[in-house]
């Protein structure tokens, strides 16, 4: 039963990050940049650059996860005496971020604090992305973007790493790999369907714009609900 609850909680929290509109937007910008600058061999470049960007996001979250697990382990003795309060704090944090995501469905404004990349960072990110000409560049941008998105995506990872920190680094690693795979799965799907020609980058961009409020709503419900469950159990 405990394993089922753990898988459900980790899957729900990973899904919150997987529907992050900013993450999807950055991937789209990378694909557009590669497509624009590699007209003759754009399909292969799109595939490899998309996968390089995704790999960077995956490794970035994995790095954050390992660091957080180690931090929770380092302060385990201190945290053990107040573990219930830490769980409450993380649950409340998840509910607050979830509520902000739900609020974006009803009162959406680009760059809202806690849910999207700030507006002042977007021109710089777009400028960097427009300079991408290869998968290597896409990988570097993926690392930078993951750093910028950390404040908006850290709440689910904090809850997950606190829960699995008792397993140790080696024991927690499979859970982190699973979490990160769910996080990047939509990015993999987008890259593959564009590469295979099932849709265009323009259609993906339009779909994101049409559904950005729904993406926030889904992420908010999942995050708020997970926080509430942690608080009540």
Instruction: Give the pLDDT confidence of 126-160 residue by residue, as tens digits.
Output: 777 777 778 888 898 888 878 777 666 777 888 88
Dihedral through CA 117, CA 123, CA 128, CA 133, nearest 10? 110
pLDDT recorded at residue 114: 65
Question: pLDDT tens digit string along 75-114?
Answer: 766 665 666 777 788 888 888 888 988 998 898 887 676 6
Q: Which of 16, 187, 179, 188 is nearest to 99 (CA)?
A: 16
What are the structural domain ranges in the chain?
2-232
With pLDDT > 70 as the criterion, what percentage of the chain qualifies? 87
DSSP summary character for residue 132: -
pTM score, whole prediction? 0.81
CA separation, residue 132 to residues 52, 83, 109, 144, 186 (Å): 12, 45, 28, 13, 22
Is the predicted pLDDT of residue 40 greater than 60, yes or no? no
Question: Would you list the DSSP string of 7-20?
Answer: HHHHHHHHHHHHT-
Specify the DSSP class assigned to residue 29: H
- Could you give the angle at which helices 201-232 and 21-37 cross, rounded to 10 degrees? 160
φ, ψ dihedrals at 215, nearest 5°: -60, -40
pLDDT band at residue 174, thresholds of 50, 70 and 90? Answer: very high
Q: Residue 39's CB: how many other CB atoms inside 10 A?
A: 8
Q: How far is CA 202 from the centre of its chain?
A: 22
Q: Of 163 and 55, which is predicted with more confidence?
A: 55
What is the pLDDT, as a whole number, of residue 41?
58
Residues 55, 57, 61, 66, CA torsion sign: positive
- Quick one: which of 87, 93, 86, 95 has its CA closest to 233? 87
pLDDT at position 4 is 47
Please choose, from the candidates 218, 96, 76, the residue with its C-alpha nearest in 3D space to the C-alpha of residue 161: 76
For the chain, percent of residues with pLDDT exceeding 90:
15
Write out the DSSP string of 166-185: GGHHHHHHHHHHHHHHHHHH
The alpha carbon of residue 76 and the mean position of all alpha carbons in its chain are separated, in whole angstroms, by 26
Helices 201-232, 83-106: crossing angle, 10 deg rounding: 140
3-state SS assignment for residue 147: helix
């Amino acid at each position: 039963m405990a394993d089922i609850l753990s898988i459900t909680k980790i899957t729900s929290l990973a899904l919150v990050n997987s529907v992050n509109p900013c993450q999807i937007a950055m991937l789209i910008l990378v694909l557009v940049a590669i497509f624009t600058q590699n007209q003759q061999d754009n399909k292969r470049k799109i595939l490899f650059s998309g996968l390089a960007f995704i790999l960077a996001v995956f490794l970035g979250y994995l790095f954050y996860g390992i660091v957080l697990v180690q931090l929770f382990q380092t302060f385990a003795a201190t945290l053990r005496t107040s573990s219930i309060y830490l769980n409450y704090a993380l649950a409340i944090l998840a509910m607050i971020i979830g509520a902000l995501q739900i609020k974006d469905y009803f009162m959406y404004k680009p760059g809202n604090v806690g849910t999207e990349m700030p507006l002042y960072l977007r021109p710089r990110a777009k400028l960097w992305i427009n300079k991408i000409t290869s998968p290597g560049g896409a990988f570097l941008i993926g690392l930078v973007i993951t750093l910028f998105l950390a404040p908006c995506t850290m709440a689910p990872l904090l809850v997950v790493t606190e829960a699995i920190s008792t397993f140790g680094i080696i024991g927690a690693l499979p859970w982190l790999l699973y979490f990160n795979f769910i996080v990047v799965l939509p990015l993999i799907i987008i890259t593959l369907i564009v590469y295979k020609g099932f849709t265009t980058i323009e259609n993906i961009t339009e779909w994101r714009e049409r559904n950005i409020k729904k993406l926030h709503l889904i992420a908010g419900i999942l995050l708020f609900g997970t926080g509430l469950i942690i608080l009540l159990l």
